[in-house]
Amino acid sequence: MHPVYNSRSPLCRAPVGAVPSGTVVRFRVYPESYRFPVRGYIVLWTDGRTPRSVRMTHHGRFEDREVFEVDIPTEDYAGIVFYFFRFENEGGSFCYGARIGRTGGEAEFSASFSPNPYQLTVYSPASAAAAPEWFGDGVSYQIFPDRFARSGAPLSPDDVLADGTSMSSRQRIARAWGDDPDPSPELFDGRMQVTNRDFFGGNLAGITEKLDYLASLGVTTIYMNPIFEAFSNHRYDTADYEHVDPLLGTEETLGTLCREAHARGMRVLLDGVFNHTGSDSRYFNRLGRYGDGGAFQSKESPYYKWYHFTKWPRSYESWWGMDSLPAVNENDPGYREYIAGENGIIRRWLRAGADGWRLDVADELPDSFIAEIKRAALAEKPDAFVIGEVWEDASSKISYSVRRKYILGVDGSPALDAVMGYVFRTAALRYLKGGSAADFRDEMEDLRENYPPYATHNSMNILGTHDTPRILTLLGTPDEVWEGPKETRAKLVCAPEDRPRAVRLLKVAAALQFCYPGSPTVYYGDEAGIEGSEDPYSRRTFPWGKEDGGILAHYRLLGDARRRYEALRRGSIEYLAADGGLLAFRREVKDDPAVPPVIFASNVSDEMLPLNLEAGSVWRDLLTGSIFSEAFVIPPRTARILVPEAKL
């Protein structure tokens, strides 16, 4: 039976999905004939505007349905248009509105206003024109610089750093590679706090030495957590945006890394922390280590207006109340010029060799500031890439009482090219841990419908990051262990009897990640079998020489498949199955029949599940080399990546 309305069907909405501003969108609705609809309306509104009703034209009957149609111009607008449908008959009115349960189908409301409307995303054409494709085409690899690889001798308290100071003089603690990170609070600056000042000595030269290893995984983009001078090992408490942290190297070391990466076809993405600085920084300088020019020392400081003092100098706004991270006033013209001006931080480090930026806590940055950052990046490099940390659906999120336009554009200016794929991670984990494949499909199809095509293509699809537990540990431990206090999970890893099952699920997860639209992003060491709960145990050192060979070989196969098959990089997606533990979809470049399609199929259940494909077709599994015909079964906790082998 034909649905009343399905926002994903071209029979109901054309074009389907997000549209550039200026597009005329045709809506077609099929209410039941037995309701005797006489008049039909589409009710539309945007934030802050009164809903308006537009009369639809009746176009006769289709099967047992009436057909109503209307064309709506989107005009010069970037944002979200909400809508539902209202029909009148002799007895009153009835409404259709919303994607209840993420189904994309219709839901009836007797009220005159839909409480959960459909969404039409309208984006700026400038954003589409400015978004490069190289990030989404490739494979990304996230590195926590202190923990990935060290070039040179083991770290020592007496090591002299690049700026001429020693480890001990900077109050940094040297640890041996392979030791556990220290989560303990200590007395520092008169308070008990977790300082994150234990260092293992990973550095930029170490990353450069491992570029061939990364190439063997198919990596095309290296994303590094912050590398600029800071007190902590995570370096989200920036002390000086103009200098590489001396523990990591120098500007020249970074330049060498970028040049060597480029020679291997890789790009380098830096982490920009522009919502706050460290209190121990040249800008704020609460501890006085940077002379007397900081905002904490003087209201005459050039940095004083960067911060939100409520009672100078000790009372000020900070990120999540952490006084070691004073919040920056991103609307201050001087700060904006320093970050996004012609000689600002964005352009300086792109000029030094980097290829783009990941913006930390993008929720905290005004859309206009994000637009300035993107314009600055484009001015320096026309194919520069800028991505934001957003954990939810970025098309419609409200942050600080404002509907955000992260990926849509602001006043005709380009916006973010994409956001981090935390929605993908959440949906994938739910499926992998026994959830419904249909829920995964529906949640991800909602996102594809809501996002501009460039944001879908460039999504940083993750299974874990420095802010989450390790994926292998999550898959190999019961849900109840995560419900208690964090202290009980301090050194949590899979029990020996549970690890084989977790490894099988991890291989399924990685295969899904590498086959789904977007850039599969590997958190360093996941491919080696690293385990750990939350920070700091998700930030252990890379186990060089002790990698899990089976997992590593699997990731190399996936990287090779992504490189060899264009359909995995740029193909459309069509779901073939989504039932219980069975998930299958087809990736295909429809305008080029010479490009072979690829089918992904997975079974996360405890039983064998059948999958039926095109009659007479023969397929080869890229993961095992096995040949399958049109009908076969998939073993429990297994994935297949199929390419056409021959025709019978």
Cross-strand bridge partners of residue 577 = 584
Question: Among 195, 190, 287, 292, which Cα is nearest to 235's?
Answer: 195
Residue with tokens 């990731």: 555
| 389 catalytic residue (yes or no) | yes
Q: Give the long-range contacts of residues 615-618, CB within 8 A, separation 24 or more.
A: 616/647, 616/648, 617/644, 617/647, 617/648, 618/644, 618/645, 618/646, 618/647, 618/648
For residues 397 and 364, is the Cβ–Cβ distance under 8 A? no
Preceding amide of 183 cis, omega within 30 = no
Rounded to an integer, what distance in angstroms lies between the CA atom of residue 130 and that of residue 374?
A: 9
Cβ contacts of 251 within 8 Å, gap of 6 or more: 243, 244, 352
What phi, psi does 407 have (nearest 5°)? -110, 10
Rounded to an integer, what distance in angstroms lies between the CA atom of residue 507 and that of residue 65?
A: 47
Q: What is the DSSP letter of 154?
A: P
For residues 559 and 418, is the Cβ–Cβ distance under 8 A? no
Residue 321's SS3 state is: helix
Longest dimension (CA), the chain: 88
Residue 70's SS3 state is: strand
Cβ contacts of 592 within 8 Å, gap of 6 or more: none
- Looking at 389, 417, 443, 445, which residue is catalytic? 389
| 360 catalytic residue (yes or no) | yes
Question: Among 485, 424, 432, 353, which Cα is nearest to 636's?
Answer: 432
Helix or strand holding residue 550 (H, E): helix 549-564
- Looking at 229, 237, 360, 588, which residue is catalytic? 360
For residues 451 and 419, is the Cβ–Cβ distance under 8 A? no
Write the DSSP assignment of 342-377 as a string of letters. TTSHHHHHHHTT--EEEETTGGGS-HHHHHHHHHHH
Rounded to an integer, what distance in angstroms lies between the CA atom of residue 314 and that of residue 153?
A: 41
Rounded to an integer, what distance in angstroms lies between the CA atom of residue 506 and that of residue 554?
A: 10
Cβ contacts of 337 within 8 Å, gap of 6 or more: 344
Cross-strand bridge partners of residue 633 = 610
Rounded to an integer, what distance in angstroms lies between the CA atom of residue 308 and that of residue 318?
A: 8
For residues 4 and 19, is the Cβ–Cβ distance under 8 A? no
Annotated catalytic residues are 360, 389
